[in-house]
Structure 1
């Protein structure tokens, strides 16, 4: 295996580093973007129970904010709920923007690797073919070893770049979709809370 990697030339080093980054980011994001950790299903009902029982105070708000990303969004809205519907919505939006930014962390790097890895492989292919044609120009076509080495370098880097880029693209799409789904879920929960507190059409939070 080491001989194959070495045959790919110096461009194999950044490709290998990209593969390590893809694995690390994918594991970290899979652990972090757990729907049960980001947006617990019964959190809104619990918050509504606190409100109905007049138990919502500073300690409860701190507990809510530290519980999850959805908790941060709801806590931001509740902290400003007495100022009216629009102010509450603005507070929720500001908190949601920060939460979304945190959830999308490293996804840009994953997308960049997915786009860059094939280009590194293509660069290796070009450099390998340059070696082949240089060898032909200097030594003719009789030195099969030199020709095979250049062609091998070209093919190995191309394959390695694609082997990194394909999983990176798949993971990027997967995590981006998960983030989008979580954002929709948190938006729905926040709207329920706003409607329950400020709408003429009262919402039964426990029923939805």
Structure 2
């Protein structure tokens, strides 16, 4: 009976130990937030670059999207006003539109009476100014895409240097010491690459959107010039 009681007692202890194993393993699991903190001080500039990149992307995205709205109604109204001889009405329509195309057409309408080349030059100059406004700060995303991975590699290299410095002081070259510190420092490289990739994609998305706006403005400008030349044909 004593032996049976010992077996039962041992069994209960094993069951209790098995129940506690998942809890211990869960405590040893890597957590994303803990890894970011263990990445060290280099995670601060990487985080700032990530926030700056997102702010620039969304601000430019909505600005460019607004500039890319359909302006067929504006062109139709301007065409009708010009063909009916209502130049002031056409200028007012362009002024009230508050859009890149409206400002381009307004500048062209104010030059009516001059040679077509002068009108084209005025429209082209305003177009370049409007495009430069749309491209504002987009290049910063390209810079972020380039330097964020560099910050990540810098953090990893700094971590490796510190690991080997600690080894030289303690004379402990066990694999656990090396790998335990190295995986933490690799977090900075992963974070830098992730920020760089996202910034790179956002940079090209905005550039493609600007290219579409430029093509649309050029098409509408050509249509406007053709409209001015119609009476003289």
Q: Is the 8 A contact 2:159 2:182 kept in 1?
A: yes
Matches within 5 A, 1:69-84: 69-84=100-115
Unaligned segments of structure 2, at least 5 residues: 1-31
Matching residue within 64, 74, 84 for 2:94: 64
In structure 2, what is the Cα distance between the partners aligned to 1:95 and 1:21? 29
> Alignment length, in residue pairs?
201
In structure 1, what is the Cα distance between the partners aligned to 2:40 and 2:92? 55
CA RMSD of aligned residues (A): 2.3
Q: Is the 8 A contact 1:76 1:92 kept in 2?
A: yes
Q: Which residue of 1 aligns with 2:163?
A: 132
Q: Which residue of 2 aligns with 1:54?
A: 85
Q: Which residue of 1 aligns with 2:49?
A: 18
Q: Which residue of 2 aligns with 1:109?
A: 140
TM-score normalised by the chain length of structure 1: 0.86
In structure 2, do the counterparts of structure 1 residues 194 and 128 end up closer, same or farther at CA, with 3 Å as the change threshold?
same
What SS class does the counterpart of residue 40 from structure 2 fall into? coil
CA drift at 1:13: 0.5
Q: Which residue of 2 aligns with 1:206?
A: none
Mean CA deviation greater in 61-70 or 121-130 = 61-70
What SS class does the counterpart of residue 82 from structure 1 fall into? coil
In structure 2, what is the Cα distance between the partners aligned to 1:106 and 1:42? 30
Unaligned segments of structure 1, at least 5 residues: 203-208
In structure 2, do the counterparts of structure 1 residues 92 and 134 end up closer, same or farther at CA, with 3 Å as the change threshold?
same
TM-score normalised by the chain length of structure 2: 0.78
